Structure 1
Amino acid sequence: MPSGASGSGIVEGDPLFFDPASGDYRPDKPAGSPLVDLAGSDTPFEGRLLNGQTQTEGGWDAGALESNGSALPVDLTDLSATLSGEAVRLSWTTASEMNNAGFRVQRREGKTAPWSTLEFVEGTGTTTQPQSYRFVDESPPFAAGPLQYRLVQVDVGGALSPSDPVVLERPAPDRLEVRPPSPNPAHSETTVQIALPDASDARGATGARLSVFDVLGRQVTSRSLETEGGYRRSVRLDVSGWPSGLYFVRLKAGSTVRTERLSVVR
Structure 2
Amino acid sequence: MKKLIIILLLSLVQPSILDAQISCANPIQVDLCPSVYLTHQTNAGAQDDAPSACNISGEDLVYEIFAPQSALHIYISVMNATGAMKLTLNTGSCTAATCNTYNILPGNSTIAFNVSSANYYYLWVDASSTVEYDISIGGDTSLQAVSVPNTQGLLAFDHCAIYPFKISKPFFEVKYNNTFKYLPMTLSPLNQTGQLCVSVYLKNLSGVSGARVFQFSFNPAGFAGIVPADTLFSGFYNTGDWKSVSTGFNQQFIFYDSLGLGRGDFDGNPNVCLKYEFCFDLIPLSNDPNLTDVAVNIYSDDYGAGFNGIVGQGCCPFGFSNCLYRSGTSSGGQAGLSFGFNDPGSGLPIELIDFDGAYSNGEVKLNWTTATEINNDFFTVERSKSGFEWIELLNIGGAGTSSVMNTYSSIDIHPLKGISYYRLKQTDFDGHISRSEPIKISNISERIQIYPNPVSEKIFINLPRDNEYQLFLYSGIGETMLHQTSIGITNFDVSVLPEGVYFLQIYSGNESIEFKKIIIMHNKK
What is the TM-score with the length of structure 1 in the denominator?
Answer: 0.40
